[in-house]
């Protein structure tokens, strides 16, 4: 069992997911001596949850509260849309985060949003069809029919507010927090050039101390390759800050 400086790992899921998405990852993390905290964000508790008034600030504060409840030096992991939250939380409490880990995602620059074109009247974003997801580059590679059925059965519509509202980051100390990017549907050889400079999803990476790790699969490695994803997170937890 490794001797980690701080064993606490906060796992922030992406759109349509809850803490359940990390079920096959938390076991290997515990076996390695880490203490995982898998999150379900406000509005994602169930299909019956009220999502009409959920904001990006609600999601950010949920993560901040958990991070602040733990000893300083947390490993903060965000998947997909959860990466935008991780970037904003690092900006809020950079002194409490040892390393940020982006799983098939990256931090957003100030003023950018995950889904800025959502109409203002939209309350939620249902899980699209697999064909629609593939058409916009969200690969379901590695998920067999049973996995896809289980995913869809447990998926919850994502609140529109957190997707539509812009990220706000301004503290330069966020740039001193080292980063691991776990590349699954987008290989590191493709992502690296995008970060210097790149579109809103990746521009921040160009200013950060980044380790790139490839776990080739689709967009949901916690479902399709959980053991490999856990190993990459464990390696990130072992990496020294700075």
What is the 8-class DSSP label of residue 72?
S
Question: Which of 128, 125, 127, 88 shows the shortest CA–CA distance to 108?
Answer: 88
Instruction: Give the active site residue among 80, 105, 185, 224.
Output: 80
Say whether 139 is catalytic: no
Place of tokens 């998405």: 21
What is the 8-class DSSP label of residue 107?
P
- No. of helices (H) and no. of strands (E), the chain: 9, 8
The answer for residues whose C-beta is within 8 angstroms of residue 190's C-beta and 6 or more apart is none
What element of type H or E holds 134?
Answer: helix 130-135
Pairing label, strands 97-103, 179-183: parallel
Question: Which of 213, 215, 211, 205 shows the shortest CA–CA distance to 184?
Answer: 215
**Interaxial angle between packed helices 23-31 and 226-238, expressed in degrees from 0 to 180 and rounded to the nearest 10:** 40
Structure tokens at 17: 């997911």
Which active-site residues does the annotation give? 80
């Amino acid at each position: 069992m490794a001797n980690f400086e701080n064993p606490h790992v906060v796992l922030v899921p992406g759109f349509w997911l809850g803490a359940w998405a990390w079920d096959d990852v938390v076991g290997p993390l515990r076996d390695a001596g880490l203490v995982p905290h898998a999150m379900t964000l406000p509005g994602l508790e169930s299909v019956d949850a009220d999502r009409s008034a959920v904001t990006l600030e609600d999601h950010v504060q949920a993560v901040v509260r958990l991070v602040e409840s733990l000893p300083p030096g947390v490993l903060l992991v965000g998947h997909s849309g959860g990466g935008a939250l991780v970037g904003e939380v690092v900006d809020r409490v950079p002194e409490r985060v040892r390393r940020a880990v982006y799983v098939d995602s990256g931090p957003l620059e100030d003023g950018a949003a995950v889904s800025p074109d959502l109409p203002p009247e939209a309350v939620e974003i249902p899980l699209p069809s697999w064909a629609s997801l593939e058409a916009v580059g969200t690969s379901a590679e590695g998920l067999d029919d049973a996995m896809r059925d289980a995913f869809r059965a447990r998926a919850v519509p994502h609140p529109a507010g957190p997707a539509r509202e812009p990220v706000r980051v301004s503290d330069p100390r966020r740039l001193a927090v080292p980063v691991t990017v776990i590349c699954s549907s987008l290989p590191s050889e493709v992502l690296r050039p995008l970060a210097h400079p790149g579109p809103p999803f990746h521009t921040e990476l160009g200013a950060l101390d980044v380790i790139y790790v490839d776990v080739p699969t689709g967009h949901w490695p916690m479902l399709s390759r959980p053991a490999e994803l856990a190993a990459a997170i464990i390696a990130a937890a072992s990496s020294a800050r700075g």
